[in-house]
């Protein structure tokens, strides 16, 4: 008798913990995202930068050198100009960089930000119909640095940017997706 009850409880727990295979229904916001992606006309303005935590970043955080409300692994960008724009076949970005440089940089470098503009290589957009989100991947370079960029665009018009560089540690940004045509 106890065995039957135990098996019944186990089956009930397995059934209750099963993942849902339901797809999310399109909303007005996801329709707006679909339109921006279809026209390749959008930008992400980031509110947060999330650098890779290293001993150096931890030391800077402990010294209190980050803006108020920030920590070493999550730095507010509110009030700092930044963007990543996709317009037609070209992309451009100006993203403040917090983290460690592995090499390079040069003496005549005027900015420490991640900055690029041009036509990317291997530009790819994939839609996840289950949650109505998009994954965007591309590679681009500036004069001395190569970037591997991955975007995750959500139907609530929030976005995430992940930048891997040939000269810097990885960093991630999160913010709002906006239509460039509205500006």
Provide the CATH topology of domain 25-182: Lipocalin (2.40.128)
Q: What is the pLDDT of residue 68?
A: 79
Closest alpha carbon to 112 in 71, 137, 76, 80: 80
Structure tokens, 21:
């295979």
Q: What is the pLDDT of residue 134?
A: 96
For β-strands 121-128 and 158-165, DSSP reports them as unpaired
Helix (H) or strand (E) holding 95: strand 90-95
Buried b (16+ CB within 10 A) or exposed e, 148-167: bbebbbbbebbbbbbbebee
Q: What is the rounded distance in angstroms from the CA atom of residue 175 to the CA atom of residue 181?
A: 18
Closest alpha carbon to 173 in 156, 149, 155, 157: 149
* Residue 137 CA: distances (Å) to CA of 10, 73, 84: 42, 24, 13
Q: What is the pLDDT of residue 72?
A: 76
> How many degrees, rounded to 5, is the angle at CA 153 between CA 171 and CA 85?
70
List the chain pLDDT tens, one digit each, 183 residues: 666 776 766 666 676 665 555 666 667 777 899 999 999 999 999 999 999 887 888 788 778 777 777 877 889 998 899 999 999 999 999 999 988 887 765 555 656 899 999 999 999 999 998 999 999 999 999 888 999 999 999 999 999 999 999 999 999 999 999 998 554
Q: What is the pLDDT of residue 57?
A: 80
Structure tokens, 98:
């917090």
Burial bucket for residue 57 (CB in 10 Å: 0-12, 13-18, 19+): buried
Domain ranges of the chain: 25-182
């Amino acid at each position: 008798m106890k065995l039957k009850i135990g098996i019944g409880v186990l089956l009930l727990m397995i059934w209750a913990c099963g993942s849902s295979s339901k797809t999310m229904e399109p909303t007005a916001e996801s329709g707006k995202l679909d339109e921006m992606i279809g026209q390749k006309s959008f930008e992400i303005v980031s509110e947060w930068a999330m650098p890779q935590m290293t001993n150096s970043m931890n030391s800077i955080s402990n010294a209190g050198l980050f803006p108020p409300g920030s920590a070493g692994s999550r730095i507010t960008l509110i009030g700092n100009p930044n963007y990543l724009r996709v317009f037609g076949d070209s992309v451009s970005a100006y993203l403040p960089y917090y983290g460690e440089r592995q090499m390079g940089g040069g003496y005549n470098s005027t900015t420490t930000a991640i900055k690029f503009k041009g036509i990317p290589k291997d530009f790819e957009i994939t839609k996840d119909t289950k949650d109505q989100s998009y994954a965007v991947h591309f590679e681009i370079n500036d004069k001395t640095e190569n970037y591997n960029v991955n975007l995750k665009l959500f139907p609530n018009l929030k976005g995430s940017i992940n930048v891997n560089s040939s000269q810097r540690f990885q960093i991630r940004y999160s913010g709002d997706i906006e239509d460039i045509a509205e500006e």
